[in-house]
Structure 1
Amino acid sequence: MNTQQKLNTQQEFDTRQQPGMRCRAEPGHGPGMHHDSRLVRRLELDSHAAPDAFRRRVLLVSALAHAAILVPLVSALLLAALAVRFALAAHIAAAAAGFALLALLPMAAALLVLRTLSGRLPVPAGRPLTRDEAPALFDMLDRVRARLDAPRIDHVLVDDRYNAAIAQRPRFGFLGPFGVLFGQTNYLTLGLPYMLGVPTKEMTATVAHEVGHLCGDHGKSGAWIGRQRLLFDMLHQHVSGHAAGSLCHRAAAGVLDRLMPCYHAYTFVLSRQNEYEADRIASSLAGSVANAQGLVRDTLQARWIADQFWPTLLRQADHAAQPPFMPFAAMKTAFGAGYAQWAQPQALAAALAVRSDVHDTHPCLRERVQAIGERPALPRPVERCAADVLLPAGTLRVLVREFDEAWWARAARSWQARHREAGRERSRLAELDAQPLAALSPADLHELALLRVGLVAPAAAKDVLACLLARPGGPFPRAAFHFGCILLAEDDDQGLFQLEAAVAHDRTLADGALHAGCAFLERSKGARAARLWRDSLLPRAA
């Protein structure tokens, strides 16, 4: 099994952990969302200079976006009605038929828009949790809601991510997506790994942050705009997907192609402004120190669970037909045992070196902590996690068992396939190891290096990789990548040149190279050196 296959297998095993925390009220802006980066930067300056005026501008842009849909819709319906009236009034059969056919085009356009607008937004996934199952948790939610004068949380869900998020969904009717009638249903999703990894006070700050997205004028307008963004994205995707076969779809897609980048830019900046406001609300309720500690812990611990916990579990498939431990049952203990791994000054420095970008509405860690008047610091170990405090022991056992069973149901086939493949790889490794390096072809050297990296340790492949990279017939970008990582682990900055060569010939290696190179520079030369190297590498990876 080669390196890429192992990566794909890991993605099947894990539970889609994402190293981000405290999602905004609605998902939205990510790599798939296209907006003008320069416009975003300019609008950010406007939002900082005059937040209230900028919010009014976004509401105006959103109203104009609605008009771009509703005016053609109403016009199409009026044209269709007019054509039908002429058809009924016509005394000549041919004229009546012509007017009837003329009515079909605007009616088809109107039906297209109405069908899309009547679609329901997806409901967040997760295991429902009731008040009877977790009275202490719901009492905490009630206290937060009362302090913030927040709307009711209709559903509490638990999922398998290290995360927390709130979402609103319209209750009824096609007018529901516009938030005009019938009200909204509010969903709070809490990740089981998150509750197992943080103290209660930090979780209270997170809940206040999430609920804060729905409070006050900024929360209500922000949540409404978030729903509209999802609605417009749904409409845009629908008409773009059918543009090739329909004139109506093609015309609508052309309008939305021009409208959406500007619309996304305005709503993106407003969403980021709302993140700062939600952080201020969380600090006012739980305290700025607890909020800052939570922001740091969430960033570092979420990265650790993605980079260390799940890969460590996955590697057990190389030697065992079944997991030696189940992930959710072991998670609380693992967080405590792993504290010394993720609570490192260099890990904090690397997290603080990350800058806000135009792909995520969340500001970077440094800016969020500074905005609430605190200085970033490593959090203390958790004495008692929020899950132990807020969930009865019986409920927690049930959740852990259910999530472990669900994980193994998804992972069992891939785990056992990898176990069988690892046995074959060990046999192949022994076969290649029995031959002198000089006698092996470049393909065999490459295979041997990857087998040693995967089954033994990266350092065990150093001599093989050096031999391969000295051979003619290159480039060998994956070999250069692994060799560079080994050199950096030995504090040899020549590894940076190897990573650069790897990315120059294989752009798919860019993410791994950036992570390894920036981590090395952070601990050896500081954040500025890491940032400069990152900026120099990114154009080659584009």
Structure 2
Amino acid sequence: MTREEFVAELRRLHPLAEANPTSYRRRVWGWALLGYGFIALLLAGTVGLLGAVLAVGLAAKALGAIWKIGVLLVVFGWRVLRSLWVKFERPEGLPLGSAEAAPLLTLLRAQTRALKAPRVHQVLLTAEFNASAVQVPRLGMLGWTRNYVVVGLPLLQALSPEQAAAVVAHELGHLRGGHGRFGVWIYRVSSTWDQLMSQLEQQGGAAWLQRFTRWYVPRLNAWSHPVRRTDEFEADAAAARLTSAAAMAEALCATVVREQALDTLYWNPLIDRLATEPAPPGNAISGLLPVARTGHLPITEEARALQQALEADPDPFSTHPTLGERLRALGQPGGVPALPTQTAAEAWLGDQLPRLAASLDANWAAERTGFWQERHAELQEQRQRRQTLAERQAAGEELSADDAWALADLTEDHVGADEALPLFQALFTNSTWELAARFAVGRILLSRDDAAGLPLLDEVMSREPNFMGPCLALQEAYYTRAGNREQVRELAAAQLRHADIFDLAAAERASVEVTDQLHEPTVSETLRAELQTRLSRPELGVQAAWLLQKRVQHFPHKPFFVLLVQPAVARRSPEEVTAWVRQVAGSLDMEAEILVVNDNKQWAWLGEKARQTPGAAVYPVA
């Protein structure tokens, strides 16, 4: 299901859900049960076949046949179970007990009873500006969940106790019992299938099950979307009953403006220290606490950020309603809340707050030390290179096109966009870097809210589709800041169309099939010679190679090639073949898009096609 098809399906389903909620929920039940029915059918069919084979075999006294077929069925059943036995990772964080957060645990117990929610097994503290209730199935798709509440220290330090209590109640509301049980169940089922599909792709699960999940999960998500959105409203309502509608509304508004303030006042300056400090700070979270408590942007900036959030259109791919929708459902106005006199972190963690922050400091630094050191070294090298290039240019030397681009790019990163702008503009007449330079200038101008950047990005998109996604996103952000909602909607729809086309292009370039149209490659002599040079490396062990061009429907101006390679020494195991093909593919590192395939029996049809196509043989040099 493409993105556009998913959005069109949502437009069809939401009116159905509103017109007849009872009937619609029965149909969602059916979709939810279909997934479990598919699993049950596989297992029941396996058991049934095993029983039938046993009965027939005993009657015919064919014990040898029973044994052979029975083993095959048992193996199949085991593979079904093993495919479903996906490990769901528990959330990470510092465990909080009564010694660290007695007030928070007392609040959780009271809210859990009031909501008729299942017991929370563990509360975790993280360094994120977020809170969540997470259910981890201990038996995979069979359930038996362990329940976690995860709270971020930056969020607790930015909210008052009343606001944070509303946030926690909202998260617990997703687990609630009573009349909301159906919405909660659908929420869990959809989330579990989403996790299963993600884990199967990461862990290389069974192909047949992946095919089912890719068909089933998008359709389940579409049908459950109206129910899951309703569940968000009901979780807000449950939180409002336990605390107050005003507290819930203030928490929603505070998270918008406080997170932006933290990014601007704390995280962005901290990230800038990558260029000057060789190791990450050891007090990243402790240092954040005073900023989270008292830091704020100018009132006009906070008001503008809040207004944009209030006027935003719903994201069709998110089950979370917009801020405006949630406030209207609560019957509360939007506004920038005052800074808390006491934060939830101070009230709930008390004198344990410094110690817990120090523990998060250590974890934060340990997780980022390797990346920080590598990035710091890269930035130091970049600064030195920019300085060298700038000195050469100042001395009157005419830089090569690549060096001129590097100077412009590094100047923007290490000096500023104002200084880089004329350097990018000077590349408009360079055939190699023209489009990238026009994109950079358009991006910089739009970041200043200068409409002169719009036609530049339009030109870049018209000439190079690979730039379309970033260009559309930049234009959408510009019109969002300008408050032009109609233009934002048009650009959002255009991004969906482009993303779908991009996916289709990636899919047709991911493999080669016997039905594909393959022909003599149209390549320059320079590219052919470069390919031959790379294939001749002794460590690769390539005996011969043929290059074919696949006819593609999407982005045909970007040719796609298939390289059939014959090894000098035969590899016996599939693992050895795969490793060798990857080695050859990795050694090419060329601008041309090339799929490397091993010349063996599996690809005999491709070998026959390659050997019959004039001009396909590229190595050895004739």
Bin the TM-score by the shorter chain. Answer: 0.7 to 0.9
Assess, with a 3 A threshold, how the Cα gap between structure 1 residues 286 and 61 changes in structure 2: closer, same or farther.
same
Question: Which deviates more from structure 2 when the two are superposed, residues 379-388 or residues 118-127?
Answer: 118-127
Residue 148 (structure 2) aligned to one of 173, 187, 190: 187
Matched, 1:495 2:456: no
1:198 to partner: Cα distance: 1.6
1:383 to partner: Cα distance: 3.1
Question: 1:343·1:379 contact (CA, 8 Å) conserved in 2?
Answer: no
1:433 to partner: Cα distance: 2.0
Q: How far apart in 2 are the matches of 1:375 and 1:401? A: 38
The TM-score normalised by the length of structure 2 is 0.71
Match of 2:408 in 1: 449
CA deviation vs aligned residue, 1:500-533 (integer Å, no higher than 9, x gap): 4455567776676556544443444544444445
CA deviation vs aligned residue, 1:135-169 (integer Å, no higher than 9, x gap): 11112223322433333222111122211111223
Matched, 1:63 2:33: yes
Match of 1:23 in 2: none
Matched, 1:140 2:107: yes
Question: 1:33·1:264 contact (CA, 8 Å) conserved in 2?
Answer: no
For the residue of structure 2 that corresponds to 1:42, the secondary structure is: helix
Residue 51 (structure 2) aligned to one of 62, 77, 81: 81
Could you tell me which amino acid in structure 2 is paired with residue 450 of structure 1? D
Match of 1:198 in 2: 159
1:230 to partner: Cα distance: 5.2
Q: How far apart in 2 are the matches of 1:326 and 1:242? A: 36
Q: How far apart in 2 are the matches of 1:39 and 1:359? A: 12
Assess, with a 3 A threshold, how the Cα gap between structure 1 residues 256 and 452 changes in structure 2: closer, same or farther.
closer
Question: Which deviates more from structure 2 when the two are superposed, residues 318-327 or residues 67-76?
Answer: 318-327
Matched, 1:414 2:371: yes
Q: Percent identity?
A: 28
Could you tell me which amino acid in structure 2 is paired with residue 425 of structure 1? Q
Question: 1:500·1:537 contact (CA, 8 Å) conserved in 2?
Answer: no
Matched, 1:156 2:113: no
Could you tell me which amino acid in structure 2 is paired with residue 389 of structure 1? A
CA deviation vs aligned residue, 1:158-215 (integer Å, no higher than 9, x gap): 12221111122345xx5x7445xxx543211111221122221111111111111111
1:253 to partner: Cα distance: 5.1
Question: 2:135·2:148 contact (CA, 8 Å) conserved in 1?
Answer: yes
1:404 to partner: Cα distance: 1.1
Question: 1:195·1:385 contact (CA, 8 Å) conserved in 2?
Answer: yes
For the residue of structure 2 that corresponds to 1:376, the secondary structure is: coil
Match of 1:213 in 2: 174
Could you tell me which amino acid in structure 2 is paired with residue 465 of structure 1? F
Assess, with a 3 A threshold, how the Cα gap between structure 1 residues 501 and 310 changes in structure 2: closer, same or farther.
farther
Q: How far apart in 1 are the matches of 2:136 and 2:5? A: 25
1:35 to partner: Cα distance: 8.0
Match of 2:548 in 1: none
Q: How far apart in 1 are the matches of 2:256 and 2:236? A: 15
Residue 242 (structure 2) aligned to one of 285, 299, 303: 285
Assess, with a 3 A threshold, how the Cα gap between structure 1 residues 518 and 61 changes in structure 2: closer, same or farther.
closer
For the residue of structure 2 that corresponds to 1:165, the secondary structure is: strand
How do 1:58-457 residues align onto structure 2 when only pairs under 5 Å count? 58-91=28-61, 95-170=62-137, 174=139, 177-179=141-143, 184-217=145-178, 219-229=180-190, 232=193, 254-305=211-262, 309-323=266-280, 326-335=283-292, 336-340=294-298, 344-393=302-351, 395-434=352-391, 435-436=393-394, 439-457=398-416
CA deviation vs aligned residue, 1:249-306 (integer Å, no higher than 9, x gap): 5655555554333223223332222111111112222222221222122234335545
Assess, with a 3 A threshold, how the Cα gap between structure 1 residues 281 and 230 changes in structure 2: closer, same or farther.
closer
Unaligned runs of 5+ in 2: 503-622
Matched, 1:458 2:428: no
Q: How far apart in 1 are the matches of 2:203 and 2:496? A: 35
CA deviation vs aligned residue, 1:26-53 (integer Å, no higher than 9, x gap): xxxxx99998332223222222333344
Q: How far apart in 1 are the matches of 2:398 and 2:97? A: 66
CA deviation vs aligned residue, 1:421-445 (integer Å, no higher than 9, x gap): 3333333222222315882233222
For the residue of structure 1 that corresponds to 2:125, the secondary structure is: strand
Question: 1:349·1:527 contact (CA, 8 Å) conserved in 2?
Answer: no
Say how many residue pairs are matched.
Answer: 497
Q: Which has the higher contact order (CA 8 A, sep 6+)?
A: 1
For the residue of structure 2 that corresponds to 1:157, the secondary structure is: strand
The TM-score normalised by the length of structure 1 is 0.81
For the residue of structure 2 that corresponds to 1:465, the secondary structure is: helix
For the residue of structure 1 that corresponds to 2:132, the secondary structure is: strand
Assess, with a 3 A threshold, how the Cα gap between structure 1 residues 103 and 416 changes in structure 2: closer, same or farther.
closer
Matched, 1:482 2:440: yes
CA deviation vs aligned residue, 1:445-483 (integer Å, no higher than 9, x gap): 221112221111211211111212244444332x33432
For the residue of structure 2 that corresponds to 1:320, the secondary structure is: coil
Unaligned runs of 5+ in 1: 1-30
